[in-house]
Amino acid sequence: MIPVDQSIAHSLFVSTYSGRQFYPLAPTPDQVDIEDIAHGLAYQCRFNGQTRYFYSVAQHSLIVADLVPKRLRLAALLHDAAEAYMGDMVKPLKQLFPMFSDIEAKVMDAIGSRYGIGNFSDKAIKRADLVALAMEKRDLMPNSTESWASLRAITASPLRITPMSPQEAKAAFLLAFQLN
């Protein structure tokens, strides 16, 4: 991680839906709120909006949670929760900005601490994330005909994605959180 001046780290914040201040360079569990996560993910479109229809990170997270064993559902639901505070940077760009990934990891640590989760990187979650990605490519990106290396050994679920509105995705995300 690139060292960051602490006065800068404690002066840069994201204003959240609930009115909190979230400090991505100095995240703590008490800054994390499920309402902010659900709201932020529900109103954020996957793939920089390069999809046929609006499709939120919250709905993606719900799909991933449905594809894992029950014991991993909360971790799967929250596997992209840092994006509520930092945005959903597409993978090719993220690879160009290693500091972004370092900050994102610290934010995920704060989220994990807040909700008692330490297994966001479980193999079953990673695989479910790729199955969801294959479904998204098939159902939401029909003009993306090139093969994606990350999907070579992955088969999409036969279930089809029906995009939810942000309000529907937020409500479903909060319900899934409450049930876990």
> How much is the pLDDT for 180?
86
- Residue 97 in any domain: the answer is yes
Q: Which tens digits make up the pLDDT trace of 142-162?
A: 898 888 888 999 999 999 999
Tokens of 34: 């499920």
- Residue 102 in any domain: the answer is yes
- Residue 145 in any domain: the answer is yes
- Residue 3 in any domain: the answer is no
- Residue 128 in any domain: the answer is yes
Cα 79 to chain centroid distance, Å, stands at 5
> How much is the pLDDT for 108?
97
- On the question of pLDDT at 3 being above 60, the answer is no
Share of the chain above pLDDT 70, in %: 95
- Residue 2 in any domain: the answer is no
The pLDDT confidence band at residue 18, using thresholds 50, 70 and 90, is very high
Structural domain for 144, as ranges: 15-179
Output the 3-class SS for 76-134.
HHCCCCCHHHHCCCCHHHHHHCHHHHHHHHHHHHHHHHHHCCCCCCCHHHHHHHHHHHH
- Please indicate whether residue 69 or residue 148 has the higher confidence score (pLDDT): 69
**What CATH number did the domain enclosing 175 receive?**
1.10.3210.10
**What is the DSSP track for 2-42?**
----HHHHTT--EE-TTS-EE-TTS--GGG--HHHHHHHHH
Torsion of CA 81, 46, 16, 109, to 10 degrees: 20
- Residue 56 in any domain: the answer is yes
- Residue 21 in any domain: the answer is yes
Average pLDDT over residues 132-146: 93
The total number of structural domains in the chain stands at 1
For the chain, give the mean pLDDT: 93
- On the question of pLDDT at 7 being above 70, the answer is no
